[in-house]
Amino acid sequence: MSLKHIFTKNAPGAPIPGLFSQGVRTGPFLWTQGTPGALPDGTMVQGTIQNRTRQIIKNLEAVLAAEEMSLKDVVKATIYIKNFDENFPLVNQQVWEEMMPEPRPTRTSLGVAQLPAGGTDVEIEFVAYKA
């Protein structure tokens, strides 16, 4: 089975090709990078964690769309959250339930001390499946 590395200009805050892929497709599966809430110019969304989480999901939708997938094809999500006790309810109840279609994918949410993208307090990665 071959690997297809995904790079789309439609995902705001796209990484520099060569450093890492926005996604990797192998067969019916697509794995995305851990994605922060960056705008098209690469700057982090200001304001609330909810604003950054909404932007992350939009960014990930663009990566999925590059492979003719959608949020309905997501089978697993991993969410990394700083200040977990304070921020988890904001991500979970105010954004996740609003933006992710039912039935929702499996998910792991982790509290972390630090994230690599400066200025972010949340990062999400997806695994999607489409035969």
pLDDT in tens, 47-101: 999 999 999 999 999 999 999 999 999 999 999 999 999 999 999 988 999 999 9
Please say whether the dihedral angle defined by the alpha carbons of residues 128, 84, 35 and 15, taken in this order, is positive or negative: negative
Query: How large is the angle between the packed helices 84-91 and 49-65, nearest 10 degrees?
Result: 60
Maximal CA-CA distance, the chain: 43
- Structure tokens of 100? 């992710």
pLDDT band at 18 (very low <50, low <70, confident <90, very high): low
| Distance of alpha carbon 40 from alpha carbon 126, whole angstroms | 20
Domain 4-129 CATH (choose: 3.40.50.300, 1.10.3720.10, 2.20.25.90, 3.30.1330.40): 3.30.1330.40
Indicate whether 128 pLDDT > 90. yes
Q: What is the pLDDT of residue 127?
A: 99
104-118 confidence digits (pLDDT tens): 999 999 999 999 877
